[in-house]
Amino acid sequence: MHKIINDPVHGFITIKDELIYQIIAHPDYQRLRRIKQMALAYLVYPGAVHTRLHHSLGAYHLMTLALNELRLKGTDISDEEFQAAQLAILLHDIGHGPFSHALEHSLVDMHHEELSLMIMERLNKQFNGQLDMARAIFKGTYPKRFLHQLVSSQLDVDRLDYLARDSFFTGVSEGVIGYDRIIKMLCVKDDQLLIEEKGIHSAENFLIARRLMYMQVYMHKTVLSSELMLVNILKRAKELSRTGQKLFATPALDFFLNHESDRLAFEKDEQCLKYFLELDDSDINAAIKVWSRSGDVILSDLCERLLSRKLFKVVFSDQPDRDLFAQLKNQIQVQLNLDDKDLHYYLMQEVSSNQTYHAENERIRILFKNGTELDISEVDHSLIHAGLWYQ
Amino acid sequence: MHKIINDPVHGFITIKDELIYQIIAHPDYQRLRRIKQMALAYLVYPGAVHTRLHHSLGAYHLMTLALNELRLKGTDISDEEFQAAQLAILLHDIGHGPFSHALEHSLVDMHHEELSLMIMERLNKQFNGQLDMARAIFKGTYPKRFLHQLVSSQLDVDRLDYLARDSFFTGVSEGVIGYDRIIKMLCVKDDQLLIEEKGIHSAENFLIARRLMYMQVYMHKTVLSSELMLVNILKRAKELSRTGQKLFATPALDFFLNHESDRLAFEKDEQCLKYFLELDDSDINAAIKVWSRSGDVILSDLCERLLSRKLFKVVFSDQPDRDLFAQLKNQIQVQLNLDDKDLHYYLMQEVSSNQTYHAENERIRILFKNGTELDISEVDHSLIHAGLWYQ
Amino acid sequence: MHKIINDPVHGFITIKDELIYQIIAHPDYQRLRRIKQMALAYLVYPGAVHTRLHHSLGAYHLMTLALNELRLKGTDISDEEFQAAQLAILLHDIGHGPFSHALEHSLVDMHHEELSLMIMERLNKQFNGQLDMARAIFKGTYPKRFLHQLVSSQLDVDRLDYLARDSFFTGVSEGVIGYDRIIKMLCVKDDQLLIEEKGIHSAENFLIARRLMYMQVYMHKTVLSSELMLVNILKRAKELSRTGQKLFATPALDFFLNHESDRLAFEKDEQCLKYFLELDDSDINAAIKVWSRSGDVILSDLCERLLSRKLFKVVFSDQPDRDLFAQLKNQIQVQLNLDDKDLHYYLMQEVSSNQTYHAENERIRILFKNGTELDISEVDHSLIHAGLWYQ
Amino acid sequence: MHKIINDPVHGFITIKDELIYQIIAHPDYQRLRRIKQMALAYLVYPGAVHTRLHHSLGAYHLMTLALNELRLKGTDISDEEFQAAQLAILLHDIGHGPFSHALEHSLVDMHHEELSLMIMERLNKQFNGQLDMARAIFKGTYPKRFLHQLVSSQLDVDRLDYLARDSFFTGVSEGVIGYDRIIKMLCVKDDQLLIEEKGIHSAENFLIARRLMYMQVYMHKTVLSSELMLVNILKRAKELSRTGQKLFATPALDFFLNHESDRLAFEKDEQCLKYFLELDDSDINAAIKVWSRSGDVILSDLCERLLSRKLFKVVFSDQPDRDLFAQLKNQIQVQLNLDDKDLHYYLMQEVSSNQTYHAENERIRILFKNGTELDISEVDHSLIHAGLWYQ
């Protein structure tokens, strides 16, 4: 077993493990080829059409580099743990549905991590328990905590990959990070993942790059607008379906337009997961085009607007602006002659937030040469000061 | 009017012309966002998910650079011609349907250039004849021939962009070309597009890079196999549809499963073009998933194989290998219990060819400092020798 | 006139102006080929061997882009001003001597900008006053202030080039900036150079990248140490020379070891400038090797250490640490048996400071769509807060 | 021991071995910091100022990758062999003098590989025989032949690094190669280094890139001209010195201006090697500036021309052009009033040749999946045909 995959971001990704290869070849994983990593961001950044599969392969690659680096520095990692950590990161996003975060809780009423875990369990059965340890690492119940931190923490390989990859495919140079340097600076002490002192500037740059990517890309007004419109389209389609109207849809999409899809539903009805695993971006894309000619004025209008990129306007404000809201409400009612109960399809308020670094929750810990440790926000002369990042 | 688009390949693409902006914003052009440039190549190169829209924007950018360079060297290009050449390249691929070349003549029985011209004419009506000159340049009927050569010739901006872009998104460094240098070396003499002597090595490298990309990417066995399977899936779906079987499909796809779609049909029936412009990759992708559960054994088997990447095997040979063919035929009939008339879904022969440089058709002409011109294949010590490239 | 120069950082640099070509070809400018941009930083970053000539060509290229961009946005720039601004940036560093900043005031007792101006004046005579306007722009006396700001301000093309170039040649990804985007965001209002609102994140990233480069590269302890040792070597060589000892040296180096070299000296004695223009890194490098075998214990020891990379240690502290200083003094005196008056060759205190952004001096002004202007430190949610950057 | 060096070409170079670190820190190796890899090519490509030290560190890095790859594929490589192969490549260029190839046989009458071996032996004594195996690998006497092939053959890590590096620093994209892919395709069979079938296009691209770099960079007329002028300067300086004229020079340069420096001399006189190890580019650069004011008309004229980039003209021809030669001879004698015996300083004939691929000498062998082997020139459809490359 020795497969090489070309990755324009990291160069070559190597697969040398039979089990890992089988997981990658599994239809549930291959499905991620048809789900875009950045949902509708390609409406602003035309290159941003890379997929969840590509990202999770990239994160698997960085995990492999990180584990090798830690072993070289003397951290004890057994072959089984090595493989399990690789599997955990490979599968960390397998629970994403169409348009990733953009439709989370809209199409299916579940968090993608819960779904990832559910699918991992399903695969684990098919693979006779070979994913037990991977699952434990993913959930954070495996004794060696640092393995979980590599999968999910302030400085995990998931974030390293998505920042590097999103910045590559959008062409936004403000997001460029030295992920290779950060990986070389990782170390483990007392079962905690730390950054060596020499890596402090790379870690700072990583935090800042993430914040700049949020402001310039992830929270770009056009991107937010298109994604909110997509959410509304699904909401309207569900509303119509549940009042008996028959809409064009693939069987899988049809199922979720007409059924409950919360955790309870997934636990009770096996069909939920089966249909979920048939969904990808194409079900939604194909439907939107057909719906743009549907009889329902609201549905067809929203779809038509999205397809022809006539998007709603987004206004940011620090606090809810009641006057503006009331004024817009009037305007829309007059222009569109909408029922009060349908107004929310055209006027909505959402909270967006940038989650760069919250010192209270999670931490980037720096290990100094003299053996002491500090949170990056406590380091003298560092750019990342509590004062700045807490505001 | 001053729009800037981030392109990870070329940096920034600028739009300063109102008409060009309106064409880009037109739904017929935006449709290209949902058609992948390299069809199923992403099954081998996971990054190769870029779109026809991205490519044609890139080609438009290179056209702008080339026209500016030629003007600087004294070539007479009026503002109207400048804009028309930009429009011609922007629209050169607008006739591509789902999966670009892979489904050409399978889904719709037309060449994409004919369709591009048809759509251009349609747009021209909507824009009150403002595309007249662009159409003439695209067709090659405009008096200044070099403008057509920039759109379509051995060294046009179309090829410069797709090579640079495909090599960028696949991560195949063998396809890297110095397109910026080539553009700086362009010149016009006697209404012919030429390369200055100093650019000869860049032009050679371009031809070789193209050949290497054919061998490594475009004609990769896995890519060819998956695309032939896709062709067979559509063939089977058409066969079933035309014998009255009802298959899941969007209205647009349904139309082409059940109607003629050659030039005659497009000319007679306006619906052809209307439905064509509703098609994109998602119609096919959504259908394949549903068809993989269809009652027809052949259709569902082909779809299932494509989805789970269990692809047919491809064997290259210089000449048809009758013995191998007969042997495989037997094997397949025994194993799959197929009717003779259905065997072609599982066993086929195709001619693939690499079209790097055919000196008899088109030429890269080199202009020497002393004013003489030579075809690149005639230059002493050049790598591109007729002897090599004709074989 | 149409010359193209390959630049791995910016692609191709074009020269289309006869006067500019003559300046580049002038021996006083060509001399910059033999002066490294980053002095001894290559002892840490082996790729950092690029030259002052390369940097000033790159800055000239960015100036050309910036001027074109501003013209497109309607800023009035005459052809003569265009050329003069190009010349001003091309010559802005012509006053640098061997090892650039590292030996400033050590070898020659002048600031490099004063020398740049002196050499510009000399060239201006040779070119019959064709550099008059360039000089005025460089000095800041030309009426259109924004032209001077392009040459020298918080966000000038000098800084854009050196950050991009230094980060490219060191391989430090923390210094990567979107200089092309920043240039596209430049605009002029009321004769002030401003950044459009959309460019705010690129400007922030630029300020942060600069700070990170200071901490990671320019103020790297090994770099500082080697440069301080170089300063001491020159100081010792001067001391010995002025007490009559004959040291190996080129005539130009010999001159400065034995003569005054402050502004007064340059004004009185024409030889100063003539000899200065003969100096480059090689005079120093060749001398250090020979001096490492000189009879003077201090000189030969310092040279030997620098050549074999046995460098002094650097300790950073916020305030002078008298105890440490006293203790080291004792240690050195005991070990090396030095005279008190020579101790300063082995023990020194310097103030290093990072000059990222001092809001009181110079400003990056942001122009909002509604026409208002703000200093970047006053923008809500910006990363660059006075609070952070003043401390 | 765990050192990381930033390399803009390969990312990070890691040193984990104490002996290797000591060799790198040795003054004889550090000397390579002051010798440019590409001699005077920077007169055309301003970025081409990288050093022999940087190149040999890069080759060491690629060697490490290659050895790890081969081990993964089951090739037996002991830890001692691993280290020895690393040392062999690290030291393969240590015998280069000022301006690398350009002054080979002009300043010192020895081939750089002979000198490398001599210096390796000297170091071996200092390191108590720890370089025995490295020396054997370098010389090709070590039983495992493939280790020598990694150091020196058609597809060695030396060539992989210098092509990648030279193309990076010149910015010539025609030289871009997929060195990482080539390394992943290396394998060993019957003690021969081979390329796996899947790597054939990368190997072809490598050969072609090399040829294009020869034509575009290494044999660029301006580069050849400046290097021939440098050779003549040294020739003239030697001639003058040996007739008793005293020229400015460092002691090391002075030695070689006045002494024999062939193999015999190096063997007889220990001073030869001692002085050789004191030489670098700066001795020559400093001297040229001083000599440009020397009393000898020929020496000062040649130096002056080189400094101010007024270079001789180069004409390529397939065969010696006697008529042109005679004509130029006359012209020069008339213009410069030269003695016949000095004419060779202004008019010379040299043979330049491109050494891409000579099938008779060395080979790139391809290993097919079925176990057969072929020379790359024998592979059907390959670009590299004997017919093409022998001419």
Q: Which of C1, C3, C4, C176 would you mutate first to test chain B, the one with the most B CBs within 10 A?
A: C4
Nearest by CB: B289 against A7, A46, A278: A278
- pLDDT value at residue D224: 92
Q: Name chain B contacts of A170, Cβ cutoff 8 Å.
A: 6, 8
Tell whether the torsion through CA atoms of B303, B306, B311 and B314 is positive or negative. positive
C99 and C197 belong to one structural domain: yes
Cβ distance of C178 and A201 shorter than 8 Å: no
Number of domains chain B is built from: 2
Average pLDDT (C152-176) is: 94
A123 and A260 belong to one structural domain: no
Among residues of chain B, what percentage have pLDDT more than 90? 74
Determine contact, residues B29/B53, Cβ cutoff 8 Å. yes
pLDDT surpassing 70 at residue A268: yes
- pLDDT value at residue B319: 79
pLDDT surpassing 90 at residue A350: no
Q: Which of A17, A184, A369 would you mutate first to test chain D, the one with the most D CBs within 10 A?
A: A184
Q: Is residue B352 in some structural domain?
A: no
- Relative to beta strand A186-189, strand A192-196 is antiparallel
Cβ distance of B216 and D204 shorter than 8 Å: no
- pLDDT value at residue D336: 85
A145 and A191 belong to one structural domain: yes
Q: Name chain C contacts of B16, Cβ cutoff 8 Å.
A: 72
Q: Is residue B246 in some structural domain?
A: yes
Nearest by CB: D4 against A4, A14, A184: A184
Nearest by CB: C289 against D278, D285, D293: D278
D150 and D284 belong to one structural domain: no
**One-character DSSP codes across C315-382:** ---SS--HHHHHHHHHHHHHHH---GGGGGGT---------S--TTT---EEE-TTS-EEEGGGSTT-
Q: Is residue C322 in some structural domain?
A: yes
In chain B, the largest separation of any two C-alpha atoms, in whole Å, equals 71
Q: What are phi and psi of D194, to 5 degrees?
A: -130, 165
Q: Which helix (H) or strand (E) holds A374?
A: strand A373-375
Cβ distance of A173 and C178 shorter than 8 Å: yes
Nearest by CB: D201 against B202, B204, B215: B215
**One-character DSSP codes across C89-151:** HHTTTTT--TTGGGGBTTTBSS-HHHHHHHHHHHHHHHTTTTTHHHHHHHHT-SS-HHHHHHH
Residue C326 forms contact with B (CB below 8 Å): no
pLDDT surpassing 80 at residue B358: no
Determine contact, residues D205/B174, Cβ cutoff 8 Å. yes
The 3-state DSSP composition of chain D as helix, strand, coil percent (nearest 5) reads 60, 5, 35
Cβ distance of C309 and D25 shorter than 8 Å: yes
Q: Name chain B contacts of C4, Cβ cutoff 8 Å.
A: 184
Q: Which helix (H) or strand (E) holds B182?
A: helix B179-185
Rounded to a whole number of angstroms, the distance from the CA of B1 to the nearest CA of chain C is: 10
Residue A172 forms contact with B (CB below 8 Å): yes
Residue A167 forms contact with C (CB below 8 Å): no
pLDDT surpassing 70 at residue D257: yes
- pLDDT value at residue B362: 57
Cβ distance of D309 and C47 shorter than 8 Å: no
D233 and D187 belong to one structural domain: no
Rounded distance between C-alpha atoms, residue C207 and residue B182, angstroms: 35
Q: Which CATH number do you get for residue D241?
A: 1.20.1250.30
Q: Which helix (H) or strand (E) holds B373?
A: strand B373-375
pLDDT surpassing 90 at residue D350: no
Q: Is D268 exposed, middle or buried (0-12, 13-18, 19+ CB in 10 A)?
A: exposed
Residue A295 forms contact with D (CB below 8 Å): no
Among residues of chain D, what percentage have pLDDT more than 90? 74
pLDDT surpassing 80 at residue B356: no
Q: What are phi and psi of D151, to 5 degrees?
A: -85, -40
Q: Is residue B19 in some structural domain?
A: yes
Reported confidence tier of residue A380, pLDDT bands at 50, 70, 90: low
Rounded to a whole number of angstroms, the distance from the CA of A175 to the nearest CA of chain C is: 9
Residue B388 forms contact with D (CB below 8 Å): yes
Separation of first and last alpha carbons in chain C: 51
Rounded to a whole number of angstroms, the distance from the CA of A370 to the nearest CA of chain C is: 14
- pLDDT value at residue D377: 75
How many inter-chain contacts (A to D, CB under 8 Å) are there?
A: 18
Reported confidence tier of residue D141, pLDDT bands at 50, 70, 90: very high
Determine contact, residues B140/B93, Cβ cutoff 8 Å. no
Rounded distance between C-alpha atoms, residue D325 and residue B32, angstroms: 62
- Residue position matching structure tokens 């190149």: D55
Residue C210 forms contact with A (CB below 8 Å): no
Average pLDDT (A44-68) is: 98
Rounded distance between C-alpha atoms, residue A11 and residue A6, angstroms: 6
Rounded to a whole number of angstroms, the distance from the CA of B243 to the nearest CA of chain A is: 23
Residue B1 forms contact with C (CB below 8 Å): no
B321 and B174 belong to one structural domain: no
Average pLDDT (C135-157) is: 96
Determine contact, residues A52/A37, Cβ cutoff 8 Å. yes
- pLDDT value at residue C359: 45
Closest CA to C243 of C260, C255, C258: C258
Determine contact, residues D24/D94, Cβ cutoff 8 Å. no
Residue D31: domain span: 3-219+356-390
Determine contact, residues A374/A340, Cβ cutoff 8 Å. no
Tokens linked to D135: 């020396």
pLDDT surpassing 70 at residue C228: yes
Nearest by CB: A34 against B5, B8, B285: B285
The 3-state DSSP composition of chain B as helix, strand, coil percent (nearest 5) reads 60, 5, 35
D12 and D142 belong to one structural domain: yes
A331 and A187 belong to one structural domain: no
Q: At what angle do helices B221-242 and B297-307 cross, to 10 degrees?
A: 150
Q: Name chain B contacts of C72, Cβ cutoff 8 Å.
A: 2, 16
- Relative to beta strand A11-15, strand A186-189 is unpaired
Average pLDDT (D17-22) is: 96
Reported confidence tier of residue B334, pLDDT bands at 50, 70, 90: confident
Closest CA to D135 of D94, D183, D178: D94
Residue type, D169: F
Q: Is residue C350 in some structural domain?
A: no
Cβ distance of A47 and B286 shorter than 8 Å: no
Residue of C nearest to A173 (CA): C178
Q: Name chain A contacts of C385, Cβ cutoff 8 Å.
A: 388
Determine contact, residues D191/D13, Cβ cutoff 8 Å. no
pLDDT surpassing 90 at residue D154: no
Average pLDDT (B118-137) is: 97
Determine contact, residues C227/C39, Cβ cutoff 8 Å. yes
pLDDT surpassing 60 at residue C202: yes
Rounded distance between C-alpha atoms, residue C46 and residue D55, angstroms: 10
Q: Is residue B351 in some structural domain?
A: no
Q: Which helix (H) or strand (E) holds A5?
A: strand A3-7
Q: Which of B202, B213, B216 would you mutate first to test chain D, the one with the most D CBs within 10 A?
A: B216
Average pLDDT (D183-209) is: 92
> Cα-atom radius of gyration of chain C, to the nearest Å?
23
Rounded distance between C-alpha atoms, residue A177 and residue A161, angstroms: 10
Closest CA to A346 of A357, A354, A338, A358: A338
Residue B72 forms contact with C (CB below 8 Å): yes
Rounded to a whole number of angstroms, the distance from the CA of C252 to the nearest CA of chain D is: 9
Where does residue D371 fall: left (phi above 0), alpha (psi -120 to 50 degrees), or beta otherwise?
Answer: left
Among residues of chain C, what percentage have pLDDT more than 70? 94
Reported confidence tier of residue C382, pLDDT bands at 50, 70, 90: low
Rounded distance between C-alpha atoms, residue A28 and residue A127, angstroms: 13
Q: What is the pLDDT of residues D66-82, one digit of tens each?
A: 999 999 999 999 999 99
Q: What are phi and psi of C51, to 5 degrees?
A: -110, 165
Which of 96-125 (B) contact D at CB < 8 A? Answer: none
Average pLDDT (C257-284) is: 96
Rounded distance between C-alpha atoms, residue B267 and residue B256, angstroms: 15
- pLDDT value at residue B389: 36
Rounded distance between C-alpha atoms, residue C186 and residue C71, angstroms: 11
CA distances from C265 to A38, C95, C124, C261, D186 (A): 64, 16, 21, 5, 64
Residue of D nearest to A6 (CA): D181
How many other CB atoms sit within 10 Å of the CB of residue B244?
A: 7
Beta-carbon contacts of C345 under 8 Å, excluding residues fewer than 6 positions away, are C232, C235, C236, C298, C302, C338
Q: Is residue D351 in some structural domain?
A: no
Residue A387 forms contact with C (CB below 8 Å): yes
- pLDDT value at residue C354: 54
Q: Which CATH number do you get for residue A84?
A: 1.10.3210.10
B131 and B277 belong to one structural domain: no
Rounded distance between C-alpha atoms, residue D168 and residue C52, angstroms: 19
A192 and A243 belong to one structural domain: no
- pLDDT value at residue C336: 85
Average pLDDT (C222-232) is: 95
3-state secondary structure A331-371: HHHHHHCCCHHHHHHCCCCCCCCCCCCCCCCCCCEEECCCC
Nearest by CB: A7 against B171, B250, B309: B171
Rounded to a whole number of angstroms, the distance from the CA of B358 to the nearest CA of chain C is: 31
pLDDT surpassing 60 at residue A146: yes
Rounded distance between C-alpha atoms, residue C87 and residue B33, angstroms: 45
pLDDT surpassing 90 at residue A356: no
What chains are in contact with D, requiring at least 3 Cβ pairs below 8 Å?
A, B, C
Residue D181 forms contact with A (CB below 8 Å): yes
Residue A1 forms contact with D (CB below 8 Å): no
- Residue position matching structure tokens 């103020």: C219
Q: Is residue B353 in some structural domain?
A: no
In chain A, the largest separation of any two C-alpha atoms, in whole Å, equals 71
Q: What are phi and psi of C14, to 5 degrees?
A: -110, 140
Q: Name chain A contacts of C176, Cβ cutoff 8 Å.
A: 173, 176
C7 and C132 belong to one structural domain: yes
Q: Which of A166-180, B228-242, B346-360, C295-309 has the lowest mean pLDDT?
A: B346-360
Cβ distance of B2 and C180 shorter than 8 Å: no
Q: Share the mean pLDDT of chain D.
A: 91
Reported confidence tier of residue B67, pLDDT bands at 50, 70, 90: very high
Rounded distance between C-alpha atoms, residue A306 and residue A43, angstroms: 10
- pLDDT value at residue D383: 53
Average pLDDT (B233-251) is: 96
B101 and B244 belong to one structural domain: no
DSSP 8-class letter at D51 = B
- pLDDT value at residue B387: 35
Determine contact, residues A97/A39, Cβ cutoff 8 Å. no
Cβ distance of D383 and B208 shorter than 8 Å: yes
Q: What are phi and psi of B211, to 5 degrees?
A: -60, -45
Residue of B nearest to A11 (CA): B171
